[in-house]
Amino acid sequence: MSVVTLAQALNGGLDLALEKDPNVVLLGEDIGRTGGVFRITDGLREKYGEDRVFDTPVAESGIVGAALGMAIAGLKPVAEIQFLGFSYPAYDQIINHVARMRNRSAHRFTVPMVIRIPFGGGIGAAEHHSESTESIYAHVPGLKVVVPSTPADAKGLLLAAIEDPDPVLLLEPIRLYRAVKEEVDEGDYTTPIGPIRVERSGDDITLFSWGAMMKETRAAAAVLEDDGVSVEVIDIRTLSPLDRDGIAASVEKTGRAVIIHEAPLTAGFGGEIAAVLAERALYSLKAPVRRVTGWDTVFPLKRSESHYLPGVDRIVHAARDILEG
Amino acid sequence: MFSLVNPDGTVRDRLPISIEETKSLYADMVESRVYDHKSMALQRQGRIATYAPFEGQEGAQIGAAAALRSDDWVAGTYRDAALMWKAGYPWDLMVLGRTGDERGGAPPEGVNVLPACLTVGGHMIHAVGLAWAEKLKGSDRIAFTSFGDGATSEGDFHEAMNFAAVYELPVVFFCQNNQFAISYPRSEQTRSQSIAAKAEGYGMPGVQVDGNDVIGVLTTVTEAVAGAREGEGPSFIEAITYRMGPHTTADDPDRYRDDTDAEDWAAKDPLLRVRLLLEKAGGWSPEWQAELESTAGERIEEAVATAEAVAEPTVGEMIGRVFAQPTDALLAQLAEAEE
């Protein structure tokens, strides 16, 4: 065990995958010589060579489409798109081909590949570099979407994604790459795709979140605990397939729920979680379900980021509102 | 434009294949056309969904597929049934697919032909990835991808061509320029002098061939495939041909096409010239033609019967095709659907 950041855990996971399986290859823009814009693939080209770690032309659709062909022919490609806001040229390949080849060919051709994409704001980045459009991917049948928020989960979910027989989108919270550290097993392990992680157990209210917003969610839970509230914190960590049982079970216990995400409110993934609670836990609810999310605006540039990003105060306020209700 | 056999069946150069081999290609073209006509009829009878006929393009498709090795990868389009069949994809599965059944998208093990791509141009980059994997594995299997003139205007065409050239991958790009993208003519599709000329910009060879000359196509594609297999990287072929029918059973070409054009191209029919060539060589007779058509007809009827005898798909199969293992949500939805 060693204490590493989320970025280091991902790098370690990729290193391990490349080492143990000769069919694993990495491809993406600037992932070789410079180790990627966030240095997640740092050192891997030097270690495994130019025939395992490919710098590609600037062509997101090409990266994803070529990875699909590689996967059909027996490799296990791990593609990187630099930012979620640059993934849309590849959306056609993802929704029309990657996620559907198994269906179209009745299992004859399958696509065991991983697409890694840094996402989310909070680092004062340029336009298009701070998107949280995970719900447009979670809506795609045939695609799994995982979002780690801790170093251990990042490595475990990455290795599970690489082993998965179907395509997996791994969304990596930019803001947490170097902001969270914990002890991570240096060996080979996987974190199952699907189940939620109960990060903190409590009885009065459940806070649901994923990705970078887990940071504010944890902080809000600490504030509420200081008030004497028993808070359950759940890291959803897999958006698709969604752990509906785990989500419902928590609120059956606590009776109150706040869902926190960075993406805009309307048609955000929080709506899906709220729907699960309405369908499965309505009679346990002691108060309305609340969502604390980004506004329905374009993600702003640096000087307005603080206006946009849901802060600890908003989460605490929503929680107190329904606790006092 | 490279060509070996003229529309009147005369030969421009010594043919690289024997009369017997020519007869075999001709038989394949006849069988393909029988399938095409049968499919149009099946659609009119409501027995299959929308159909995209390839009549007029048999020379391009049979000639190209005849140049491939049986384990090569093929990524083609909804109009490539003859090509896919010649590459090993059974007719009955093609018909099954057209009845509206995903199980038609699963060719037998060993047949490395992807199910037809329906998004225009989306599949060329798949061939690039397939070829990339083969190169990395050290195999000499190549990837062949077929598409139309319209697809060359898609962004994915550019990305596929560029990736293949950058990584020197064993890909053969085969454009069947059939003059129309639904209703949009080739003359407006690009200001490029030819589609083949675009290859130069990617740093790969590009050639034009008479797509209605099955032997010319076979010769051109054989050379491209050999180059790819021997490590010379990708190449591009523009086969000049003509779609004699509509885009699909859902459109009327009279709205966008001149009758005179169609008549000119009818004289350049890919089957006609081979028949004339064989006739001159004493290799064709009306009896043989009748036999070919009747044998092909029986095979296609059998394929249709096989496809139509496939049991109705279950909701469980539909739900089971999403992932290797259905998720809890899918299993719950299956239970609900079966209630």
CA distance A67 to A151: 26
Interface contact A319, partner B, CB < 8 A: no
Give chain A positions within 8 Å (CB) of B115. Answer: 104-105, 108-109
To the nearest whole Å, the CA of B56 is away from the closest chain A CA by: 28
Question: Beta A181-184 vs A2-5: how paired, if at all?
Answer: antiparallel
Give A103's contacts (C-beta < 8 A, 6+ positions apart).
Answer: A141, A142, B102, B321, B322
Cβ proximity of B196 and B163 under 8 Å: no
DSSP sequence for B253-315: GGGT--HHHHHHHHTT-HHHHHHHHHHHTT---HHHHHHHHHHHHHHHHHHHHHHHTSPPPPH
Suggest the residue from B71, B111, B117, B132 to mutate for an interface test with chain A (most A CBs closer than 10 A): B132
- For residues B177, B131, A53, A124, the Cα torsion angle rounded to the nearest 10 degrees is 30
DSSP sequence for A137-193: HHTSTT-EEE---SHHHHHHHHHHHHH-SS-EEEEEEGGGTTT-EEEE-SS-----S
Is the predicted pLDDT of residue B155 greater than 90, yes or no?
Answer: yes
Question: What is residue B154's DSSP assignment?
Answer: S
- For residue A156, name the pLDDT band (cuts at 50, 70, 90): very high
Give the nearest chain B residue to A240 (CA atoms). Answer: B327
Give chain A positions within 8 Å (CB) of B327. Answer: 194, 241
Give the nearest chain B residue to A107 (CA atoms). Answer: B321
Tokens of A202: 């409590």
Tokens of A14: 């990729």
Question: What is residue B70's DSSP assignment?
Answer: T
Q: Which residues of B248-276 are buried (b: 16+ CB within 10 A; e: fewer)?
A: ebeeebeeebeeeebeebeebbbbebbbb
CATH 3.40.50.920 correct for A197-324 = yes
Question: Beta B184-185 vs B180-181: how paired, if at all?
Answer: antiparallel
Task: Classify B237 as helix, strand or coil.
Answer: strand
Helix axes of B58-65 and B214-229: crossing angle, nearest 10 degrees:
40
**Beta carbons of A72 and B324 less than 8 Å apart:** no
Give the start-to-end residue ranges of the domains of chain A.
Answer: 2-184, 197-324
Choose the closest CB to B105 out of A69, A105, A244: A105
The catalytic site residues of A sit at: 129
Q: What number of H helices and E strands is found in chain A?
A: 12, 14
Give the nearest chain B residue to A103 (CA atoms). Answer: B321
Interface contact A66, partner B, CB < 8 A: yes
pLDDT tens across A16-40, in order? 999 999 999 999 999 999 999 999 9
The Cβ of residue B190 has, within 10 Å, a number of other Cβ atoms equal to 14
**Beta carbons of A75 and B136 less than 8 Å apart:** yes
What CATH fold (topology level) applies to the domain A2-184? Rossmann fold (3.40.50)
CA distance B200 to B235: 10
Question: Which helix (H) or strand (E) segment is A18 a member of?
Answer: helix A6-20
pLDDT tens across A101-118, in order? 999 999 999 999 999 999
- For residue B17, name the pLDDT band (cuts at 50, 70, 90): very high
Choose the closest CB to B322 out of A96, A103, A109: A103
Tokens of B287: 């009896």
Strand order in the sheet with A168-173: A53-55, A24-28, A76-80, A114-119, A168-173, A144-146, A238-240
pLDDT tens across B28-62, in order? 999 999 999 999 999 999 999 999 999 999 999 99
Give the sign of the dihedral formed by CA B86, CA B90, CA B91, CA B94: negative
pLDDT tens across A256-299, in order? 999 999 999 999 999 999 999 999 999 999 999 999 999 999 99
The catalytic site residues of B sit at: 243, 247, 256
User: Which residues 274-303 in chain A show a CB within 8 A of chain B?
Assistant: none
One-letter-per-residue 3-state SS of A267-315: CCCHHHHHHHHHHHCHHHCCCCCEEEEECCCCCCCHHHHHHHCCCHHHH
Choose the closest CB to B119 out of A51, A96, A107: A96
Choose the closest CB to A166 out of B122, B324, B330: B324
pLDDT for A22: 98
Choose the closest CB to A104 out of B102, B130, B329: B102
Give chain B positions within 8 Å (CB) of A66. Answer: 125-126, 128-129, 132, 163
**Beta carbons of A92 and B122 less than 8 Å apart:** yes
Locate tokens 């200001």: which residue? B191
To the nearest whole Å, the CA of A263 is away from the closest chain B CA by: 24
Helix axes of A244-254 and B328-338: crossing angle, nearest 10 degrees:
90
B24: phi > 0 → left, psi -120 to 50 → alpha, else beta; which?
alpha
Give the nearest chain A residue to B327 (CA atoms). Answer: A241
pLDDT for B143: 98
- pLDDT above 70 coverage of chain B, percent: 100
Give the start-to-end residue ranges of the domains of chain B.
Answer: 19-308, 314-339
Locate tokens 């139309």: which residue? B148
pLDDT tens across A36-71, in order? 999 999 999 999 999 999 999 999 999 999 999 999
CATH number of B19-308: 3.40.50.970
pLDDT for A138: 98
* Amino acid, single-letter form, for residue A12: G
Give the nearest chain A residue to B154 (CA atoms). Answer: A61
Chain A, chain B: beta-carbon pairs less than 8 Å apart: 136
**Burial (Cβ within 10 Å: 0-12, 13-18, ≥19) of residue A279:** exposed
User: Closest Cα to residue B71, out of B140, B147, B172, B145?
Assistant: B140
pLDDT for B261: 86
What is the ipTM score, two decimals?
0.96
**Beta carbons of B115 and A241 less than 8 Å apart:** no
pLDDT tens across B223-277, in order? 999 999 999 999 999 999 999 999 999 989 989 988 888 899 999 999 999 999 9
Locate tokens 């399986």: which residue? A21
**Beta carbons of A104 and B123 less than 8 Å apart:** no
Question: Beta A197-200 vs B206-210: how paired, if at all?
Answer: unpaired
Task: Classify A78 as helix, strand or coil.
Answer: strand
